[in-house]
Amino acid sequence: MAFPKLLITGCNGLVGRILWKKLSDDFDLYGLDISPGEPSGKIFQADVSDLEQVKSMFSRVPSLTYVAHLAGDPRVDASWDSVFANNIGGTKNVYDAAQTFGVRRIVFASSNHVTGAYEGFPPSLHARPNPALIARRDPIRPDSFYGVSKAAGEAIARLYYEFYGLESICLRIGSVTKEDDPRVNPRFESTWLSHRDLVQLVKKSLKADVKFGIYYGVSNNTKRFWDISNAEVELGYRPEDDASKFMI
């Protein structure tokens, strides 16, 4: 039986490498990245800010079913010019190409920084290091131009669903670490997303019956302040890890 084809944009980044290693048993994987990385007939070099490069790459993968869109500038302190070109423009280009070439669904890597200002801006008098539970229904409160760009990406995803029926699951991803260890930053006791839970969440997002949705991606941390109840109900997400167990 042939596996459905999945393109991972930003496949040479941290999250992209984790998914590439863990999704090959369920999908026929292809990659796109601005850096060539390891040579492979299934990984293509392209700049997502260039629509023609993106469309040219998509044309080389016939019958592409799914896209996990991770590519862009991942820096929280990135400049407006960079996130405008790479995150907003790049996301629009990926959705444009996906619609043109008949992709069924995109899992879009949004970010917790879409609502990061609920945590405050230290050393502001209004800083709240342990905010109340933040739910999907709460208004966006970006903490950076990066957060703004990810909010714009969610809006682009919604537009392409409404206009073209291109399905999208937007994941406001928490803190993923290279060594899968939350102890590198005190904040991660609340915001950590383990590799195992990340892979589970993406798999369930690709296969869920939901046509469009926005969900927080975080492990089952005792101190988490993002509501994942809609991901549990609608996607069947069951996170297995808790950052607090590392802190003992």
- CATH code of the domain in which 67 resides: 3.40.50.720
Is the pLDDT confidence value at 4 over 50? yes
- The residue among 108, 107, 127 whose CA lies nearest residue 117 is 127
pLDDT the model gives residue 36: 72
- The residue among 104, 162, 37, 180 whose CA lies nearest residue 46 is 37
Encoded tokens for 45 = 């070099």
Is the pLDDT confidence value at 128 over 60? no
146 is catalytic: yes
Encoded tokens for 138 = 């709460």
Per-residue pLDDT of 58-113, as tens digits, reads: 999 999 999 999 999 999 999 999 999 999 999 999 999 999 999 999 999 999 99
Range of the domain at 127: 5-246
pLDDT band at 125 (very low <50, low <70, confident <90, very high): very low
pLDDT the model gives residue 248: 64
Residues with Cβ within 8 Å of 137's Cβ and at least 6 positions away in sequence, in order, are none
Lowest mean pLDDT: which of 89-98, 119-128, 156-165? Answer: 119-128
Is the pLDDT confidence value at 130 over 70? no
DSSP state of 226: B
Per-residue pLDDT of 11-66, as tens digits, reads: 999 999 999 999 999 999 999 999 876 656 799 999 999 999 999 999 999 999 99
pTM of the model: 0.94
Is the pLDDT confidence value at 143 over 90? yes
Number of domains present in the structure of the chain: 1
Q: Which of 30, 118, 146, 237 is catalytic?
A: 146
Per-residue pLDDT of 196-220, as tens digits, reads: 999 999 999 999 999 999 999 999 9
DSSP state of 86: I
CA-atom Rg of the chain in angstroms: 17
pLDDT the model gives residue 40: 65
